[in-house]
Homo-oligomer: A and B are copies of this chain.
Amino acid sequence: MVPSDVGYAKRGGVINVNLAWWDFYICKIRCQEMGRTMTAATEQRDWSTAQRDGSTAQRDGSTAQHDWSAGLARRTHSLGGGEITAILALAGATDVITFSGGFPDPATFPTGVLAEIAARLISEDAGVALQYSATEGLAGVRDYVSGRLASLEGRAPCAGQLMVTSGGIDCMELLAKSFVDPGDVVAVEAPTYLGAIMAFRGYEADVRGVPVDGDGMRVDVLTELLADGLRPKILYTIPDFQNPTGLSMTADRRRDLVGLARRYGFLILEDVAYRELGFGAAPPPSLWSLAPDVVLQAGTFSKIFFPGVRLGWAAGPEQIISRLVVAKQNSDQCSGALGQRMLEEYGRGGHLDRQIVRSRALYARRAGLTSDALAAHMPDGATWTTPDGGFYIWLTAPGGVDTVALSAAARARKVAYVPGRPFYPAGNGATQIRLAYSRVADDLIDEGVRRIGEVLRTALEQK
């Protein structure tokens, strides 16, 4: 029933998304460097002028262009401007080897069993599965997620301490909207997930970076910053197989960190997006399991189930969860009930656990192939992380290479990555690259990494 001109190439849409994100952040960086000129007044007739004088230039009913950008809220100013639209609308090329988006591989997605579950829910349970859900999520689904946390993390949230969200980013947005006033300090790992930086900046937070090393966030540095007077309202961390470095926080640092949160009264937002996708031993205890009084855990089912229904969870202090539920009433009101029930049925049947075992093996294999390719193709002086789980390897190029500037050369060579700078709150990462190996076919990894190596070598030779 899809007309042929719409083009549902199996991977086309996905690559499109990747490129959109990639271009978006390239653009964002450029916008920042241009000193946010996009929000400056233009010669075009604009919203504020018309509002001031109630003038009649368009009284003839013509469709003359208004400049709506003049009315943008102040909180949008750090998010870049109108040029992003044009770039987002670009159709993606389909012959690019893309290491850019943090996408799960469709090979891990459920098929037959889930098809049966979906058909059964629609036929036999439409009154629940197709209806609005309670904003905090369906009771049975919360019961399932709660039991899952109990078995994975040794602690079950009480009633009121758990809600269903529309993916992990939904939790960040709801928290920022509910608790961040302009100028509030939010501390993050540097580098960290760029979506989180955007979510907090979207509410005019003062986002500050705390450095990381091979053992995760430098909690000792955070301790010094706090002693010197830094007062974050929220500290955001991805303790397991971090985005973008692939590295994890040690058990000792986790205990130290929750101690700091209790002492200084800040909330830890713990993002566990990759926690279940480790390649070896189980990760250290989650921060939430250590300190449910000061930790809000944001989980997502996008990486372990699939992203095509927007589903995640938030577990934390009841006072926090209750406010996120109020905020969610005004965003999407509830996460889709059909996806919730599919997850529950699939999960209670044991299928999710089996899927995760297969996913771990796939991503471990790709991490290994990517590491091998890096060893074969990177120029001298390049370094990279060796993840024990998750989707990412973090590459540091030698010799002052600018990975933003090289993006165009990479595109010309039909390979895509995300440059390092947007992963920092400010000023770092110019020589760095995030490689997401999660959705690059095994037989394309070596070639893709070889092309990036070429781009870097060419840049080094031209210096």
* Contact, CB under 8 Å: B131 / A306: yes
A151 on the B face (CB < 8 A): no
Chain B residues near A86: list those with CB within 8 A.
Answer: 322
Contact among B126, B170, B335 with A111 in the assembled complex (CB-CB below 8 Å): B126
- Contact between chains at B132 and A307 (CB < 8 Å): yes
* Segment among A73-81, A236-244, A390-398 that sits at the interface with chain B: A73-81
Q: Determine the residue in chain B with the shortest Cβ distance to A265.
A: B50
A129 contacts across to B, CB distance below 8 A = 308
CB–CB B308/A310 < 8 A: no
Q: Is the CB of B54 within 8 A of A325?
A: no
Interface residue? A24 (CB, 8 A):
yes
Near B by CB (< 8 A), chain A positions 1-35 give: 1-3, 6-8, 10-11, 13-14, 16-17, 20, 24
Which residues of B are found within 8 Å of A56, using beta-carbon distances?
263
* In the assembled complex, A361 has its CB within 8 A of some CB on chain B: no
Let me know if A109 is at the binding interface, CB within 8 A: yes
Q: What is the interface size of chain A, counting residues whose CB is below 8 A from a CB of the partner?
A: 145
Pick the residue among B20, B73, B126, B180 that contacts A179 (CB under 8 A).
Answer: B73
Q: Which among B80, B195, B318 is the interface contact of A326 at CB below 8 angstroms?
A: B80
Residues of B contacting A330 with CB < 8 Å?
79, 169, 172-173, 195, 198-199, 202
Q: How far is the CA of A52 from the CA of B230 in the complex (A)?
A: 10
- Binary CB contact string for chain A from 48 to 69 against chain B (1 if under 8 A, 0 otherwise): 1111101110110111111111
Which of B169, B293, B318, B325 contacts A64, CB < 8 Å? B293
Instruction: Say whether A428 faces chain B, with CB atoms less than 8 Å apart.
Output: no
In the complex, whether A110 has a CB less than 8 A from a CB of chain B is yes
A217 within 8 A of B: no
Also in contact, A181 and B130, with CB within 8 A (given A6-B139, A82-B322): no
Nearest CB of B to A13, in Å: 5
CA distance A166 to B332 in the complex (A): 6
Contact in complex: A322, B84 (CB < 8 Å): yes
Q: Assembly of this chain: how many copies?
A: 2
Please give, as numbers and ranges, the residues of chain B lying within 8 Å of A13 by CB-CB distance.
128, 131, 133-134, 138-139
With A13-B133, A85-B325, A233-B71 as known contacts, state yes or no: A294 contacts B202, CB within 8 Å: no
Using CB atoms, name the residue of chain B closest to A339.
B336
Complex: how many Å from CA A103 to CA B130?
11
Instruction: Report chain B residues within 8 Å CB of A180.
Output: 73
- A residues 118-167 touching B (CB-CB < 8 Å): 118-120, 122-123, 125-136, 138-140, 143, 159-160, 166-167
Indicate with 1 or 0, residue by residue over A342-384, a CB within 8 angstroms of chain B CB atoms: 0011001100000000000000000000000000000000000
Which of chain A's residues 301-320 have a Cβ closer than 8 Å to chain B?
Answer: 302, 306-310, 317-320
Question: Complex: how many Å from CA A66 to CA B233?
Answer: 13
Are B333 and A336 in contact, with the CB atoms below 8 A? Answer: no
| Known A-B contacts A264-B50, A308-B129, A331-B173; A348 and B1 likewise in contact (beta carbons under 8 Å) | yes
| Assembled-state Cα–Cα distance A71/B334 (Å) | 25
Given A50-B265, A103-B131, CB of A325 within 8 Å of CB of B88? yes
Contact: A336 with B308, CB < 8 Å? yes
- Which of B49, B122, B258, B302 is within 8 Å of A265, CB to CB? B49
Q: Which residues of B contact A222 (CB under 8 A)?
A: none
Which residues from B are CB-within-8-Å of A103? Answer: 131-132
Supplied contacts A6-B139, A118-B118, A195-B333, 10 more A-B pairs, CB within 8 Å: A8-B140, A16-B134, A51-B264, A72-B179, A104-B131, A115-B120, A130-B306, A166-B331, A173-B330, A177-B202
7 interchain pairs (CB within 8 A)?
Answer: A6-B139, A54-B265, A56-B263, A59-B259, A132-B302, A166-B310, A177-B202
Q: Which 9 A-B pairs have the closest CB atoms?
A: A50-B265, A85-B322, A130-B308, A6-B140, A130-B306, A115-B119, A308-B337, A58-B262, A63-B293
